[in-house]
């Protein structure tokens, strides 16, 4: 059962690259449920002129800036996932403000049920922010194909990202629920509905 926090229930949905966490998170949405997408918030932090933008540009140089002055997230990903120190540097720049943005949206939401869709709930120390955690998993072959398609990276680059993340097995130890997103989309939807019925009812 979820803990109650100021009349709000916070459900975290997380998963590694290519596991389809956002697909699963979106399935929880109803008129009574708000979904907060951490990646969408992060995109906003990367906008030219923002404080985060300036810090990233200073840390990684003009080589990660496109001609339109936007950050080339694919190029930045290739840099940080090939260098652990660079990844830590980027996370130290982005995570504090991202967590503030998430906290603010949770606090200001009028919805009783909130789903936090975030890849780094465990890694960024957000586990304490959610009342219950769903970990979405998938076969490695599917992770690679999906990662290549969504990020425009090659196979080796996606594998490098997978290896940089906490393994699915280790991440699943933190889970209250696990969704296997390896099968047809309807199978995933059935798992989401079962979890939603259990949590919302409680």
The CATH number covering residue 56 comes to 3.40.50.300
Residue 62 is encoded by which pair of tokens?
């003009």
Residue 162 is encoded by which pair of tokens?
């997978």
Res 6: pLDDT: 60
Give the dihedral of Cα atoms 120, 124, 128, 130; nearest 10 deg: -30
Of 8, 19, 6, the closest CA to residue 134 belongs to 19
What phi, psi does 193 have (nearest 5°)?
A: -60, -40
**Residue 21 and residue 137: Cα distance in Å, rounded?**
8
Asked whether residue 182 is assigned to any structural domain, the reply reads yes
Are 113 and 8 spatial neighbours (Cβ–Cβ below 8 Å)? yes
Asked whether residue 1 is assigned to any structural domain, the reply reads no
**Residue 38 and residue 135: Cα distance in Å, rounded?**
15
Residue 100: Cβ-neighbour burial (10 angstroms; 0-12, 13-18, 19+):
exposed
**Residue 199 and residue 91: Cα distance in Å, rounded?**
32
Q: Is the pLDDT of residue 80 over 50?
A: yes
Asked whether residue 39 is assigned to any structural domain, the reply reads yes
Asked whether residue 3 is assigned to any structural domain, the reply reads no
Average pLDDT over residues 34-62: 95
Average pLDDT over residues 137-166: 91
Asked whether residue 4 is assigned to any structural domain, the reply reads no
Asked whether residue 34 is assigned to any structural domain, the reply reads yes
Are 129 and 10 spatial neighbours (Cβ–Cβ below 8 Å)? yes
Asked whether residue 135 is assigned to any structural domain, the reply reads yes
What's the CA angle centered on 17, arms 184 and 115, to 5 degrees?
75
Of 149, 167, 148, 169, the closest CA to residue 158 belongs to 148
Res 202: pLDDT: 59
Asked whether residue 158 is assigned to any structural domain, the reply reads yes
106-147 residue pLDDT tens: 999 999 899 999 998 998 888 889 999 999 999 999 999 999
User: How many structural domains are present in the chain?
Assistant: 1
Are 199 and 9 spatial neighbours (Cβ–Cβ below 8 Å)? yes
Average pLDDT over residues 156-184: 93
Q: Is the pLDDT of residue 32 over 60?
A: yes
Average pLDDT over residues 69-92: 92
Res 125: pLDDT: 83
pTM of the complete model beyond 0.85: yes
- Better pLDDT: 201 or 198: 198
Range of the domain at 55: 9-201
**Residue 41 and residue 188: Cα distance in Å, rounded?**
25
Q: Is the pLDDT of residue 5 over 80?
A: no
Q: Is the pLDDT of residue 4 over 80?
A: no
């Amino acid at each position: 059962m979820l803990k109650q926090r100021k009349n709000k229930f916070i459900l975290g949905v997380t998963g590694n690259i290519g596991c389809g966490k956002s697909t699963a998170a979106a399935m929880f949405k109803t008129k009574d449920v708000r979904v907060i997408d951490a990646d969408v918030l992060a995109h906003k932090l990367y906008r030219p002129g923002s404080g985060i933008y300036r810090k990233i540009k200073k840390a990684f140089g003009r080589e990660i800036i496109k001609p339109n002055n936007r950050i080339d997230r694919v190029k930045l990903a290739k840099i940080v996932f090939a260098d652990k120190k660079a990844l830590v540097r980027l996370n130290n720049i982005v995570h504090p403000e991202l967590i503030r943005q998430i906290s603010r949206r949770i606090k200001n939401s009028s919805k009783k049920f909130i789903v936090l869709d975030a890849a780094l709930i465990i890694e960024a120390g957000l586990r304490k922010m959610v009342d219950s955690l769903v970990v979405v998993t998938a076969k490695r072959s599917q992770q690679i194909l999906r990662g290549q398609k969504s990020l425009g990276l090659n196979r080796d680059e996606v594998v490098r990202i997978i290896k940089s993340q906490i393994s699915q097995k280790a991440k699943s130890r933190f889970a209250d629920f696990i969704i296997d997103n390896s099968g047809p989309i309807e199978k995933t939807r059935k798992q989401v509905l079962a979890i939603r019925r259990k949590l919302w009812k409680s």
